[in-house]
Structure 1
Amino acid sequence: MKGIAKIIAMAALWMALPGFAEDAAPDVPQDYAWGMHLKSEGASPFWQIALPTQVYEQSVWPDFRDVRVFNSKGEAVPFALTLHQQRPKPAPEPVALNVFPLDIKHVKYEGQNSLTVKMPGGAEVHLDGDDTSRISQSFLMTLPDEQKSSLAVAQLRLGWVKLAQNWQAKVDLYSSADLKKWQLLVEDAPLMDLTSGSSQLRHDTLQAGVTLSDEGPRYLLMTVFDAPENINVQSVEAIASAADLSNANIYLSAHKESAEASVAIYSWVNPQPLTALAINPGKENEVLPVEIDYRRRADDLWLPLQKTVLYRVSEMQSEPVTLNGEMVQAIRIKGINASWGDTPPEVQGLRASQALVFIPQGTGPFMLTWGNKAAKPQAMALDMVIPEKLRGQYTLDSLPVATEADTVTLGGEARLTAVDPAERRSQWMTMLIWGVLVIGVLGLLGVAYRLWREVKNKP
């Protein structure tokens, strides 16, 4: 037992030695997997760069704690990370439009199909073409009387009485200022209401892209065709145009892991905090009811995300699926009574775009680096880089932009699994404790064996 005590005492002494409790050395570029030289011409106390796509895809940490900027001497310089564009304000509440079912009459003259739609007040609209024979219903929609200002409409959301059977239909949408001249806005847009067991899928929105007003188009005409029976549309809501997020997000293409005729799995190398998913059919003029699952990490279970309809019809395509920063490593898309054959959907993840602002201490050229599992957070708050009193003069819109030059390999992929000194000490301590425990157990077994031999040999 005295020997075991000596081993434990020696281990404790070794752990206390200065050489074992190593301090973290200053960062150098070789601590990071990759780097990119930056071009910054002219003199400025601050520079900015929009993080390149490689950083989003290859950074080990979702919060970019493994991003650094170095000067020509390999010294890290102060920097801050900030959203490239502020998030938009919430969109206005939907506006309920007046909805009027219209009488329609099919006629045929001189070998041509024609449809007559009778408007309130007696005005008639004539639609010609072979497709008019498939039209079964028509609805007129107008701004409410209390709506005096113009309304930018991005989408229409329909409400209807649920039918006893599953159904799918298509609609065309027209606009007019005088109920006489009509302009086609949307063609062959899908609507559907499906039930399978306990699962339901309802696609009730149309892309509109029109501004309704007293001076411009005030009326909308929707024609329904290929429906198995009449749809009792009870309400239509106009959804205002949302702010443009194209500059606020970066699009990260997903890697297709596997794809069958109706199931496909897509992933990203590292989990990504996504604001949305852009998913569209792989072929033109395709409509796919689907169920989408996701997982946060490669070894996590699949979680349900949403049932929706993917479509790419004419110049219209599916709206992105909102995620609000949810961590996503992979998604799984399953067709609901639908198959895409050998052309699976296309998937991109949208992530909030970030800009890096740095103080050019030392001499250039400067280098942006990323990819280090052992890195600790070093980005500062923007106020610590650009003092508040200078923020009026030096705004993100006015800061000079450092441009990307060549990308170089530094520490390589080995840095993606690097261990920081604290974690390394913890691993050594764990191994040492286990070693002491194993030696102690062996020592006790030895003592027990000697006692057993003595008892056995005693006359």
Structure 2
Amino acid sequence: MIGKLSVIAVGLCTTLSVWAQEAPTDFTTQVPLAVSGDGPWYRLELPLSVQLSARQADLSDVRVFNAAGEPQAYALSRQSAQRTESRNVADVKWFPLYAADTDESVPNVVMKSTAEGTLLEVRPSKAGKQVLRGWVLDASAVKAPLQQLSLDWSREQDGFQRFSIEASDDLQHWEAWGDGQVARLSFADERVEQHDVSLPGQPARYLRLVWQGQVAPTLTSAKLVSATRSSLPMPLVWSQPLSGVRLKAGEYSWQLPTGLNVERLRIELKQPNTLAPVTLAGRREAKQAWQPLSNGLLYRLTQNGQDVVQDELQLPGVTVGELKLQVDERGGGLGVEAPAVRFAVRTTQLVFLARGEPPFILALGNGSVKAANLPLSTLIPDYSAERLKTLGQAKVTGDAVVRATTVAIPPEAGTDWKKLGLWAVLLLGVAALGAMAYSLLRQPAAKP
């Protein structure tokens, strides 16, 4: 009798396993992969265009299959820029940079510091009339990576201030950190001020700010924001232009392809001399209320024969499916048609353990499946950040194959026949077991 019950139980488990087994055809999009390097683990940076084929914002419907259609064990790495352990704001000292010729790219100066790295003096290397060209900031007391620079300057020097940013640890060798731009403007009887500049999140003892084509303003304050992160964030990836709609005067909206953790938004400013204070709101679904995300000043102005552009807004990285921009039209607005936008999200890295024969395919696009990814430390027993860099590489090759939507949809949109079938098999199995037990109980007891 026990043997019969075991056979039935095994049969039920086997049937359920077959029914529950996922296959590439359960997903609307299939993308071929090519692998190179040492396995059996391979890492793949998911292109944004591929991510947009997912039906779930957290990429729970991403899978990797081998040539036989067998699912592969995998993990997702999606570090956020918000994973900060500590954040500190420090006032730093600044030293003027003078030059004899305002067309010099970098002032020729002499700099002196103590053995501990504290800056003592910055002076011109030549005599004669000198023009203020920039400033050197002493960040030697700040040990953590530098995230943001905040400047204030003399009230007599309003307008835009554009400068190059360089970093050094020894005052001899300088590394370019890009350009910075701050502003103080009068706008419709109001003051609009922008004091902060983003830095690349690297440590440095000194920063050199050099104004190009104009005299530097007189600084009144310089602050550096530093932060120690638990892990470095993945780089940002930008989307293709996304068109929107004009809701009313000064109000525009954009529907994202799916719910995304957007961290930056770039608004197209077509017309020169555009100045627009804006407020950005977002929501995940149409039935939800709008939530404030960001605000700022967008502009495209001509200064010294060049376009000075600020067209980006920084977002908190929460999941949104729709965006709405409100514009203060006292600055002239952004036009009758909604401007195109580009959005940026963090790169997502997928690591999978190759089992079976290639070619491998990436499948995604199923709104009903559950997440199947493992933690990286489980997928790779001796996992470390250094180990991750040595893994083999996987890349998307060829075009994605998009199938017609035949994937099971959530219960409110239709009947889940697969789930009903599983319940039917279970009930039949229980009924069979009950019938056998009842039959055994009715049999007369064996005579001694």
TM-score range, shorter chain: 0.5 to 0.7
Provide, for residues 226-248 of structure 1, a one-character-per-residue CA deviation record: whole Å limited to 9, x for no partner: xxxxxx98644355799998952
SS at match of 2:363: strand
TM-aligned CA distance change 1:331 to 1:298, over 3 Å: same
Aligned to 1:307: 295
Distance 1:405 1:142, change over 3 A: closer
Q: Secondary structure at the match of 1:358?
A: strand
Q: CA 1:27/1:279 → structure 2, altered by over 3 Å: closer, same or farther?
A: same
How far apart are residue 351 of structure 1 and its match? 1.8
What pairs up with 1:380-399 in 2 under 5 angstroms?
A: 380-388=374-382, 391=383, 395-399=387-391
**Residue 305 of structure 1 aligns to which amino acid in structure 2?**
L
What's 1:335 paired with? 327
**Is the 1:201–1:308 contact (alpha carbons within 8 Å) kept by the matching residues of 2?**
no
Give the residue type in structure 2 aligned to 1:249.
L
Are the equivalent residues in 1 in contact too, given 2:136–2:206 (CA < 8 A)? no
The 3 A distance-change label for structure 1 pair 240 and 223 is: farther
How far has the Cα of 1:321 moved from its partner? 3.3
Aligned residue for 1:255, secondary structure, equals coil
Q: 1:58–1:91: structure 2 CA closer, same or farther, 3 Å change rule?
A: same
Cα distance 1:425–1:208, how it changes in 2: closer, same or farther (>3 A)? closer
CA distance in 2, matches of 1:78, 1:283: 51
Q: CA deviation at 1:88?
A: 7.3
Residue 91 of structure 2 aligns with an amino acid whose one-letter code is: V
Q: Deviations over 1:32-52 (max 9, x none)?
A: 001011112566211121112
Q: Indicate the residue corresponding to 1:370 in structure 2.
A: 364
Q: Does 1:248 align with 2:241?
A: no
Distance 2:29 2:139 in 1: 61
- Per-residue CA shift, 1:394-447, capped at 9, x if unaligned? 822111111212234354334384659x9837998xxxxxxxxxxxxxxxxxxx
Separation in structure 2 between the aligned mates of residue 318 and residue 78 of structure 1, nearest angstrom: 44
CA RMSD of aligned residues (A): 5.3
Q: Is the 8 A contact 1:249 1:350 kept in 2?
A: yes
Determine whether 1:266 maps to 2:254: yes
Counterpart in the other structure of 2:76: 81
Secondary structure of the residue that 1:407 maps to in structure 2? coil
Counterpart residue identity of residue 407, structure 1:
D
> 2:348 aligns to what?
354
C-alpha distance in 2, partners of 1:366/1:36? 9
Shift of 1:368: 0.4
Match for residue 204 of structure 1 among 194, 205, 220:
194
User: Partners in 1 of 2:251 and 2:94 — Cα distance?
Assistant: 41
What is the distance in 2 between the residues matched to 1:393 and 1:194? Answer: 49
Tell me how far apart the structure 1 counterparts of residues 198 and 368 of structure 2 sit (CA, whole Å): 50
Q: Does 1:69 align with 2:64?
A: yes
Deviation at 1:366, TM superposition (A): 0.7
Q: Which residue of 1 aligns with 2:317?
A: 325
CA distance in structure 2 between the aligned counterparts of 1:393 and 1:168, rounded to whole angstroms: 47
CA distance in 2 between partners of 1:41 and 1:76 (Å): 19
Give a deviation string over 1:286-342, Cα, whole Å, max 9, x none: 432212222221222222233311134547643753333311112122221231226
Identity of counterpart residues, as a percentage?
18
- The equivalent residue for 2:32 is 37
Contact 2:92-2:223 within 8 A present in 1 as well? yes
CA distance in 1 between partners of 2:165 and 2:352 (Å): 51
For structure 2, the 5+ residue unaligned runs are 1-11, 97-122, 167-177, 421-448
SS in 2 for 1:54: helix
Assess if the C-alpha contact under 8 Å between 1:175 and 1:220 holds in 2. Answer: no
Match for 1:192 among 178, 185, 191?
A: 185
Letter in 1 for 2:89: E
CA contact (8 A) 1:82 1:355 kept: yes
* From 29, 36, 49, the counterpart of 1:54: 49
Q: CA deviation at 1:386?
A: 1.0
- 1:203: Cα distance to partner? 2.6
> Which residue identity is paired with 2:281?
D
3-state SS, counterpart of residue 395 of structure 1: helix
2:416 partner SS? helix
What letter is aligned with 1:289? P
- TM-score normalised to the size of structure 2? 0.61
Summarize the Cα distance change of 1:38–1:189 in structure 2 as closer, same or farther, 3 Å threshold.
Answer: same
Task: Report the CA distance between 1:99 and its aligned residue.
Answer: 9.9
For residue 379 of structure 1, report the CA deviation from its aligned partner. 0.6
Cα-to-partner distance string for 1:175-220 (whole Å, 9 max, x where unaligned): 99xxxxxxxx979964236588xxx874322659899x99995887
The normalised TM-score by structure 1 is 0.60
Cα displacement (A) at 1:25: 2.3
- Comparing 36-45 with 323-332, which one deviates more in the overlay? 36-45
Letter in 2 for 1:205: H
Query: Which residue of 91, 94, 99 corresponds with 1:95?
Result: 91
Q: 1:365 to 1:218 in 2, by over 3 A?
A: closer
Q: How big is each residue's C-alpha offset from its partner over 1:84-141, in whole Å with a ceiling of 9 and x where there is no partner? A: 79867767534345699xxxxxxxxxxxxxxxxxxx9x986569xxxxxxxxxxx986
Q: Shift in Å at residue 160 of structure 1?
A: 8.1
> Which sections of structure 1, spanning at least 5 residues, go unmatched?
1-17, 101-119, 128-138, 177-184, 226-231, 429-459
User: Matched residues in 2 for 1:148 and 1:26: separation?
Assistant: 54
| C-alpha contact (below 8 Å) 2:256/2:322 kept by paired residues | yes
C-alpha change, 1:411 and 1:290, in structure 2 (3 Å) is same
Moved more, 278-287 or 355-364: 278-287
